[in-house]
Structure 1
Amino acid sequence: MYTLEDDKETTSSLRKRELLASSQTQGAAGPSKGETGDAQRLSLSAQVTNTFKKITTPTKAPTGGKGAALAALTMACIGVFFTAMDQTVVVTALPPIVNDLNIGVTKLDHAAWIISAYLLGFVIAMPLMGRVSDIYGRRRIFILCLGIFGAGSILCGLAPVFGQMSDLGFLNAINVDTSSPGLIWLIAARFIQAVGGGAVVPVAMAIASDFYGPQRRGLALGVIGAVTEAGGVIGPLYGALIVQQFGWQYIFYFNVPIVIGLIIAAWRLIPGGTHTREGIDWIGAALLGLALTCLSLGLAQQGTDLGPTPANAPAPQNNPISIGLAIVFLIAFVLVERKVRWPVVDLSLFKRLHFSATSLVSLLVGAALIIAMADIPIFVDTVLQQSVLDSGLALLRLTAMIPVGALLGGWLCSRITCRFTAVLGLLFTATGFYLMSRWPIHVDWNQITISTVTAGLGFGLVIAPIGTTAINAVRAGQAGMSSAIVTSLRMVGMMLGLAALTSWALAYFKQLVSTYPSLPLSATAAQFANWSKG
């Protein structure tokens, strides 16, 4: 876990930064000698804590003692919890969303963007907004981020209404399928929601660091990191409960009163004023976002060629232009990051073999995780014809084991080696996925439990070795950036894995349908829609 010793380095950096600012000298404070040893005790929650923020001292210090600090920490935790929960809250709601928005079974890859759009916005916003709050002030940016998240939530709930009222035919000119306008509105709203939600996380951590001194800051930031993980774990079950009782739109509507309460609390608890005057790499962030978007589109579209297309299926919509643009934007991003003073990503870290290997593992683990989180609820809902709540409970067997595995993985890393722990976790994950691949149509719940618990434990076991190895592979002063990249790559893997999976699965589905000429594709789509109502 993130220990109090880590705050000694932070305090030293703060003092050096203040001296540099007073003499109008540009630069950053150097790391302390003890940081390398301390890094070995960092858990994932601590990495997220130390990842996206350069902690600075506010010009107007918070007042009010322990009571005000506890209130601010509680406010920050609530905000982080709900924004993190929205990463996974829709996975159990996908079947009813697909049905309500009239998304055909041959276009399920489009529905995957309901999840991918949020991940994309989250990845873009997280590295930037902590620095933005340094420049423009914690209270102003925290309230702005909450407002964006709340506005995006309202737009998500109203997506079907906007879809019926609007004519999006002009998008056909850029090869966008407009057969489901409500889906287009929902995807756009999810991205807006994610920009606000992803920004809340680093700003909340900065707020906690402002209110808590060196002796207590580590605990406060650790709490926020733990709450972030808890939001992702609880999201699917929470979504299932809301869908079953109220409907999927209320997954988003219920965010609004929470946001209003947090805005009021932020105005009362967080001091105003600005902090420091550092640069922001807006160009790098924009190029990274464009590259990831084009790559996701390219993967989804290219996937339709992975099998022969039957005569009664739509023609493939291959678009190599998306892949080409992704490469162009990625090259431009690399060139920009090598020259800017405050890069979003420090590319020099990838020269270290252990760090590069860890980054690749994090990317692949993220891809595998989102595949399980997206497919298990759909399987339970459509194949087993169980309720949405049962879908959430099935997925909970996996997600609940992730923090258990993370704790065990941290212990094993300190007792054996990170390499052994990571390999063990990957073997558990592979075993769980193999067992899931053997599920029959009438699988019983014992088989589901064994498979999902095994996979969830494996995912958890990998977390600590990835984080520890990434930090130990770099210099002490690069620990924060190292953690940032590894954590972000896990989310990028989730986004790209979902795009690739849905396109491949759809191509395979079309191939299977072609062997049953007596079953029109439209009839299959109708059957899927009927299942999803359950």
Structure 2
Amino acid sequence: MTSSAPIPEAATTPAESASPWPALWALVIGFFMILVDLTIVTVATPTIIEKLDASVNDVVWVSSAYMLAYAVPVLITGRLGDRFGSKYIYLAGLTVFTLASLWCGLTTTVGALILARVVQGLGASMMTPQTMAIITRIFPAASRGQAMAIWGATAGVALVVGPVLGGVLTDSLGWEWIFFVNIPVGIVAFVMAVLKVPALPTHAHRFDWLGVVLSGSAMFLLCFGIQEGHQKDWAGWIIAMIAGGVVLLVLFLVWQRLNRAEPLVPLSLFRDRNFTVSNAAITCMGAIAASFGFPLMLYAQAVRGYSPLQAALLMVPMAVMSIFLARLVGSLSDRLHPRRVLGFGFATALLGFLLLTWRLSPGVAVWELAVPMGVIGVGNAFIWAPTATTANRNLPMSLAGAGAGVYNATRQVGSVLGAAAIAVLMDSRLAHYLPGAAAHGDAGAAQIRDPHVAELFSKAMQQSLWLPTAMYVVGLIAVMFYERPRHEGFGGHAAAAAAPQGAPAEGR
């Protein structure tokens, strides 16, 4: 490096003389845990329906409450990290999350479980933006792509491992243990973070409280209205809630543009096309991850008579391929155009989902389900990590914290809307094929013995899977708009930078 070369901002942090990798692994433990809890409930859905005398919609709210409480505050919690220290906000959130996990396992009613999940989601919202912001600040630009690849791959693997772990615990120890397992993991994560994560410099911020109120109210009205709409026959007050949510969302965006002090979401972030496209892609993936497990697990347990563990094993091919390809994909993300990497990922996962949906019937052979799941895993491996890596490639360090908050918020928004939409779709399809099943949860509580009923239930779940399939289509279209990255070390970047102004840039 010549004397005129800029010093990486990460080098000005207290961690400049120490390797940042131990801090990354310490953060990954907690990040992995809170993402596992996004999907770990799906495989236990039939058991919770039976043990807590709940409906399908009630149990979907067990996940939606967590996602909603996770999504709404995540923008402001990112700023809290900048103000009071990312390490300390992370540790506070980890404490809240771990204690709320204990509360979840001790509940005896579905209402109490939903309330405990709200608190658990608040803890997760304090943790997530700190992980991405800390990684961005402690890693120099040359190795930041590798670190973000691990962070992104952790998200993809965690959302697949959740149902598998949930099946093992539900089958062997009971549904309560899908929450109790977080306690020892949370303690280990806390100790590791105290020892390995540096306390970074803080910055004064003015908090956009009006933005917080507008965004939070909009999200709540939209998600509650969408999820409860079918249950309430789309009554006038439900339509009013949804309309009110849209109005508040528009007002939020207008306020962010007018706020000259320090908006909650700096709209200048979206001038970077790759950041915008990455947010669209991760919104789709959030919706997919939150939605596809419910119909698949209900089909496996109600139609095929699988135990929670056996049902969860259907996810293993997806998890194996995601883990196996993580390192390869991480290296490709630094060298190949993101349009090629993510285009391949979305197209492959879409193919796998079309195969899975086509073959979802009572008598299909297990391998005919395992193969599509493996194909989906290959596709997802080329989506999760590259999306996270590409999102902040071109952002200046001064906007890293804000970018991390927005990126995580959009992923959670996708998760909330995906969970709400799948509840509506499953209720609708069950009401069409098996009137009464959606309201009482009878079809999902035990194996269906009547072949005719099993066939109808399979059709309902099969048609519900068109939601995540459609999200893969939207994601595939979105990533076609990626432009050539501008980060140092990208193939051909130096030549492109040296080209005369106005010369065409290859691959844009």
Name the TM tier (shorter chain).
0.7 to 0.9
Q: Distance in 2 between matches of 1:212 and 1:421?
A: 23
Q: Mean alpha-carbon deviation: is it higher for 188-197 or for 354-363?
A: 354-363
Could you tell me which residue of structure 2 aligns to residue 531 of structure 1? 447
Once residues 400 and 198 of structure 2 are traced to their aligned partners in structure 1, the CA distance between those partners, rounded to angstroms, is 29
Rounded Cα–Cα distance in structure 1 between residues aligned with 2:249 and 2:376: 33
- In the other structure, the counterpart of 2:239 is 320
- Aligned partner of residue 385 in structure 1, secondary structure: coil
Alignment of 1:398-409 (within 5 A): 398-404=318-324
2:365 is matched with 444
Give the distance between the partners of 1:523 and 1:282, measured in 2 at CA.
Answer: 39
Distance 1:334 1:389 in 2: 44
Q: In the aligned structure 1, how far is the partner of 2:438 from the partner of 2:410?
A: 38
CA distance in 2, matches of 1:281, 1:484: 14
1:109 to 32, 57, 66: 57
- Which of 421, 431, 435 is 1:500 aligned to? 421
Shift in Å, 1:354: 6.1
Does residue 101 of structure 2 align to residue 153 of structure 1? yes
Alpha-carbon shift at residue 276 of structure 1 (Å):
3.2
Deviates more, 1:286-295 or 1:402-411: 402-411
> For each residue in 1:177-222, what CA deviation from the matched residue of structure 2 results, as whole angstroms up to 9, or x when unmatched?
xxxxx22222221121121123223435666788889998887776
Q: Which secondary structure does the structure 1 equivalent of 2:43 belong to?
A: coil
Partner of 1:44: none
What percentage of residue pairs aligned between the two structures are identical? 26
Stretch moving more, 316-325 or 91-100: 316-325
Deviation at 1:120, TM superposition (A): 2.4
Query: Counterpart in 1 of 2:493?
Result: none
Residue identity opposite 1:299 in structure 2: I
Paired with 2:347 and 2:30, the residues of 1 have a C-alpha distance of 35
Provide closer, same or farther for how the CA distance between residues 424 and 205 of structure 1 changes in structure 2, counting only shifts above 3 A. closer
Amino acid at match of 1:528: G
Q: What's the CA shift for 1:98? A: 1.7
1:15-34 maps to which residues of 2 (within 5 A)?
none
Offset of residue 234 of structure 1: 2.2
1:81 aligns with 2:29: no
| TM-score, reference length from structure 1 | 0.70
CA distance in structure 2 between the partners assigned to 1:159 and 1:257 by the alignment: 19
**Equivalenced residues, count:** 441
Q: Deviations over 1:223-280 (max 9, x none)?
A: 5555455433322222211111111112212322443455566667778898332233
Contact kept? 2:430, 2:437, Cα under 8 Å: no
Point out the more displaced range, 330-339 or 139-148: 139-148
Give secondary structure in 2 for the equivalent of 1:278: coil
Give the Cα separation in 2 of the matches to 1:210 and 1:469: 16
- Aligned residue for 1:190, secondary structure, equals helix
- Superposition deviation, residue 388 in structure 1: 0.7
Q: What secondary structure, in the 3-state scheme, does the structure 2 residue paired with 1:448 have? A: helix
Opposite residue 434 of structure 2, the aligned amino acid is: V
Please tell me whether the aligned partners of residues 153 and 326 of structure 2 are also in contact (alpha carbons under 8 angstroms). no
Once the two structures are superposed, the pairs formed by residues 449-468 of structure 1 within 5 Å of their partners are 449-463=370-384, 466-467=387-388
Letter of the 1:383 counterpart? V
Name structure 2 gaps, 5 residues minimum.
449-508
Amino acid in the other structure paired with 1:341: A
8 A contact 1:376–1:394 mirrored in 2: no
Aligned to 2:202: 275
Q: Residues of 1 paired with 2:168 and 2:162: CA distance?
A: 10
Aligned: 1:240 with 2:161: no
C-alpha distance in 2, partners of 1:378/1:468? 34
1:139 to partner: Cα distance: 5.7
Assess, with a 3 A threshold, how the Cα gap between structure 1 residues 128 and 464 changes in structure 2: closer, same or farther: same
| Counterpart for residue 331 of structure 1 | 250
Distance 2:273 2:23 in 1: 41
In the aligned structure 1, how far is the partner of 2:86 from the partner of 2:141? Answer: 19
- What displacement does 1:291 show? 1.5
Kindly state the Cα deviation for residue 124 of structure 1 after the two structures are TM-superposed.
3.4
Q: Which position in structure 1 is the counterpart of 2:262?
A: 342
Q: How does 1:227-266 map to 2 (within 5 A)?
A: 227-260=154-187, 262-263=189-190
The 2-side partners of 1:327 and 1:440 are apart by: 38
Over residues 473-531 of structure 1, what are the superposed CA-to-partner deviations in whole Å (9 max), with x where a residue is unaligned?
877865765565445323322221221122122112212235xxxxx759984353233
